[in-house]
Each structure stands twice: as structure tokens, then as C-alpha cells.
Amino acid sequence: KQEVTQIPAALSVPEGENLVLNCSFTDSAIYNLQWFRQDPGKGLTSLLLIQSSQREQTSGRLNASLDKSSGRSTLYIAASQPGDSATYLCARGSNYKLTFGKGTLLTVNP
């Protein structure tokens, strides 16, 4: 069974801190790894996509890495802001399906 695990389940940090969210997955035969943001009661906003042939992607203060051999991905958020507070989901992409982790609930305190 393909599984995606996210650690920690919840994280609370003061504003300005750099932080790392972790994602691990079984089965290295992935097409891509996506990170999404979800605000309470809302849909999913795609943050970063890493193709299986890539090792990292960057967008603004966000950097995501992918290590297929170890089945791990990390999302690095620099200089966190209260507006970054949300649930962050990673998803393993196969040929037709995204399999999601349970997410990390991030709270950035002013």
C-alpha cells in the first residue's frame, strides 16, 4: 500500500523563524511530489511541485526537496509570517493519482 507520512502533525513557531516540514513516502516509483497549502474549510493551493527527475524547487520563501532513494521530501519555509498559518499537505503523484499525507498544521505566532 502506498503511504505518505507527515511529521510533525502540528507545529507552532514565533514569527520570523525558519522551519522544516517533513514528508516520507513508500514506493520510490513516483512521478512527482507536490506540496499544498490548505486554509481552514478551504480548498487546496499548490505551492511547489517536484518532478521525479528533480531534487528541489524554490518559490519565494519556500524550498522543497526530494530524495527518492530515501523516500523523503522536506518543505523549508524561511522567515515565517503569521499569514503562513495553515495546514501543509504533501502528496505523492503516481500515474493517475495523488496520495496525500495527513498534513502538518502550522501556526505562526506574531
Partner 1 sequence: DTEVTQTPKHLVMGMTNKKSLKCEQHMGHRAMYWYKQKAKKPPELMFVYSYEKLSINESVPSRFSPECPNSSLLNLHLHALQPEDSALYLCASSHWPKGSGANVLTFGAGSRLTVL
Residue 110 interacts with partner 1 (CB under 8 A): yes or no: no
**Selected range binding partner 1 among 14-22, 42-50, 57-65, 71-79, rule: CB under 8 A:** 42-50
Percentages helix, strand, coil for the chain (3-state, rounded to 5) are 5, 60, 40
By three-state DSSP, how is residue 62 classified? Answer: strand
Q: Which of residues 56-85 bind partner 1 (CB under 8 A)?
A: none
Q: Is 103 among the residues that bind partner 1 (CB under 8 A)?
A: yes
Q: Which of residues 9-28 bind partner 1 (CB under 8 A)?
A: none
Pick 13 or 105: Cβ nearer partner 1: 105
Question: Taking CB under 8 A as the rule, does residue 52 contact partner 1?
Answer: yes
Q: Which residues contact 75 (CB under 8 A, 6 or more apart)?
A: 20, 21, 23, 35, 47, 48, 62, 63, 64, 88, 90
